[in-house]
Structure 1
């Protein structure tokens, strides 16, 4: 049902407005073809989002990979507008559904919801004691938009096919980003459309796990299964091409996690761990660009350890409530002149950087309460994915059992990679965290229900 129909709008004036809009696009394209194309694509996105929240969510997922995040530029604003449109479409869908069709995220995942509310609320409250209350409030708004993906995704995914759409959109976006990076790297480290090697590697690790799940979900010999396998290969090459130590560590973490949580698939997971380790070693020695392989083996951390030292000093000085959300770059200058040499003080004084460790940054800015809230939220999401896997296993649904397991591993991989980057605002992280609850809702509640 279209957005206008869902809201009860039946005004023929819409036809006239569309005609005027089409004429305007035609004139714009004639004067500025690039601007006309961008406007057309934007309108297509708006129509898709407002017409069908699930299709809009899939497009939003792909767009999140293709629009480079630039806090000082327009890319972030574009994604904010896209997110608000998605939120409007979700509200319209919820408002027009019959009461028996509306599922409650609060009833399904109360721990996750309470943790999410506590996380955003505490972040906003931190503006009271923050050195820059404006930065804290602005970033709290960003967190709120990210957390809103939890109910949006829960409401948008109402069938197994819907779930495959969103996972497929994530894999497609990651594959395009990796392919773009591999083509454009010119022997340098792969940064993809994300524009950052470590961030690209983190998302590719998650995408690789999801491609494994899709490969298991699609029928043998099908075109979709072949495409998912190709996407997985591109993801592996992209991860190693980034030369990201965080990406390699995250990949190792998910392979170990696959062995730990593998259940009846533990033997296959262990074999995959051994094979992947050997293949990665061969690639890095024989095929990888020298810039990537050298970065992996060098001891240089490009200032990350100095940022971590300052982060530890900051938490020691503010052990209970932190310095306020988004205030690490602002307050870090106060902790330079303390015992302990810093080799890259410029990253703190001249061009202040984030912590490059999501957990330390949360601890610095929001204290233990903030970190506990986030870890509780993330843990509840992973547990929901594992519960879904067990339900599908009991029902004999092998494909969705493995897909559920791969989703849990994707989240684990991204969270491990975030030990080396500050990814708490990454909307694709929140998209992954939002996927397990609707998947669990789709899983049969009893073994005899197919």
Structure 2
């Protein structure tokens, strides 16, 4: 059994998605209350270190070109535009603290470019997607369980003077961190359960996921985070309406019943839940102090942008220019209190709106780049989600992206859960702009394919020019039918190649050896195979004088007597008798020679007339002779 499980464990440890899942789980670890780099105002958490390690793990094979997947071209363009906008804003920053601007730039590139791309390239199949979503659900259940315990035991953060606010392991300084983590787990569990609907074989996992989603509603309610409530409701509504509208109505009824049970069943802070829920409808005409401060922060961001419309004030420029642009009624800080840190005043260093933060710090260039990224991911994700969609990972990516974009209306990045923003962007990009697989490279030991040499096709007789017969070696056996030659006659001089017969051009020697045909190329006896004459390099000819022009020779029109049995050397591929006397302008070989003209005229070969047969000699037997008459008379007497 150990031998069987070892390859599976080895394959799991080699997956980069394991580092991405570890990054999600490390978010739950408390990161302390002090910054590691106080001068740059950077709060480094264990999750940040894990995300940077993931970037390094992906960067090494990426630079070597060994990653099995590649980014979508549109994804490269969108993330490149975000990085470019942040770079331009940093280069033109007017903030008095350059170190803060550089640290802010590093944070922006980490959250919106490096970590999303690294997580995206680590997701290679469905197992990686489910591993990452499972890590989200696990972390949400851990934080949710701690939050419910804080609410029931009164050990949470202070809310209206009561320590009942569930904050998980993040403390009172990050009161929205636990609510965001719980929302991610709830939406992931619900989406995976919807992806398994209609499958009887997955009934048990589907029920477990529905149960996990229902349990996570308790810590979400005890977080008293109106922004997380609204974002979770919007994402759930979009998810259910896109997959099954009838199921959306059922869940709406279940949600109302659950709210009634929560408000009426927990008497310790039922009034606080009711008041918090009712305040959502009254924020427009009777806002509380937190809502008023948020409106003033939005106004401050708009004023900063008006001073730097093109490229903004630079990263972390809002915090440095807030006091010079804020209204007088804006509170300088917010109250935070729990059993660990006591009572503390936390300065308001962000506008609590991600879009206004980008606009004030990166100007029009930055807001256009971020808006393009968000709109492309949202539209392409919603287009792929429908009633027939059974891809739970795709449904989860769409729901998480909707939650993030809705939450950005009244929140921004910051705190230990900022790395989860990168994870959501990676999931949404994988669903809307999936990476393209790269072709596998051949192993180093495998030989490379070599292009084969072209093979000449067999000669085909042309319908315009009659082919000449191929010469054969004279033998005592009965004559064999000649092989067809090229489609047109070509005269070859000694030492040149003869095209058209053999599959390769063979140079002809000046003198043919005995017993070989005059063509010097192919011979055939009784066997159907063709034997090739070995190539002999032609001898070097002495330099000849310039040829004098010769008039085209006339072609003989009548047969000329020749001595039978002789072969024609040099050019013509047939055995013909040599004439006794060559006509004027014709060579002794029987072929018309022409030097000035590139064409060659052939002397038609006519077999010599057969010699007349000699008369038969007279017979040697004597003819019968009649007896003489005298002899006959003497006998009578």
Q: TM-score range by the shorter chain?
A: 0.7 to 0.9
Which string of whole-angstrom CA distances, capped at 9 and with x for unpartnered residues, describes residues 223-268 of structure 1? 54344233212321111111111112112322443366x1x62332
Equivalent residue, structure 2, for 1:121: 87
Alignment of 1:4-403 (within 5 A): 51-68=14-31, 72-73=35-36, 76-94=44-62, 98=66, 102-107=68-73, 109-126=75-92, 128-146=93-111, 147-185=113-151, 186-187=153-154, 188-195=164-171, 196-218=174-196, 224-258=205-239, 262=242, 265-287=244-266, 289-290=269-270, 291-298=272-279, 299-302=287-290, 303-336=293-326, 341-342=328-329, 344-346=331-333, 351-389=347-385, 398-400=389-391, 402-403=392-393
Structure 1 CA distance for aligned equivalents of residues 260 and 367 of structure 2? 35
Which string of whole-angstrom CA distances, capped at 9 and with x for unpartnered residues, describes residues 8-34 of structure 1? xxxxxxxxxxxxxxxxxxxxxxxxxxx
Deviates more, 1:278-287 or 1:130-139: 278-287
Query: In 2, are the aligned partners of 1:66 and 1:177 still within 8 Å (CA)?
Result: no
Q: Which runs of 5+ in 2 are unaligned?
A: 1-9, 38-42, 155-163, 280-286, 336-344, 438-637
Query: In 2, are the aligned partners of 1:258 and 1:409 still within 8 Å (CA)?
Result: yes
Deviates more, 1:291-300 or 1:363-372: 291-300
Structure 2 CA distance for aligned equivalents of residues 325 and 416 of structure 1? 23
TM-score, scaled to structure 2? 0.54
Equivalent residue, structure 2, for 1:12: none
Aligned pair count reads 385
Higher relative contact order (CA 8 A, sep 6+): 1
Structure 1 CA distance for aligned equivalents of residues 305 and 372 of structure 2? 20
* Aligned-partner SS, 1:109: helix
Which structure is higher in helix share?
1
**Pairwise CA RMSD:** 3.5
The 1:77/1:346 distance shift into structure 2, 3 A limit, reads closer
Structure 2 CA distance for aligned equivalents of residues 208 and 183 of structure 1? 18
Structure 2 CA distance for aligned equivalents of residues 124 and 94 of structure 1? 27
Structure 2 CA distance for aligned equivalents of residues 374 and 232 of structure 1? 31
Which has the larger Rg? 2
CA drift of 1:173 comes to 1.1
CA drift of 1:287 comes to 3.2
CA drift of 1:172 comes to 1.1
TM-score, scaled to structure 1? 0.74
The 1:148/1:198 distance shift into structure 2, 3 A limit, reads same
Structure 2 CA distance for aligned equivalents of residues 369 and 108 of structure 1? 18
Equivalent residue, structure 2, for 1:25: none
Equivalent residue, structure 2, for 1:15: none
Which string of whole-angstrom CA distances, capped at 9 and with x for unpartnered residues, describes residues 383-438 of structure 1? 34335436xx7xx6x431x5423321211112212322222781101111111333
Equivalent residue, structure 2, for 1:4: none
Equivalent residue, structure 2, for 1:35: none
The 1:301/1:312 distance shift into structure 2, 3 A limit, reads farther
Query: In 1, are the aligned partners of 2:81 and 2:369 still within 8 Å (CA)?
Result: yes
CA drift of 1:442 comes to 6.6
Query: In 1, are the aligned partners of 2:70 and 2:435 still within 8 Å (CA)?
Result: no
Structure 2 CA distance for aligned equivalents of residues 81 and 443 of structure 1? 25
Deviates more, 1:179-188 or 1:63-72: 63-72
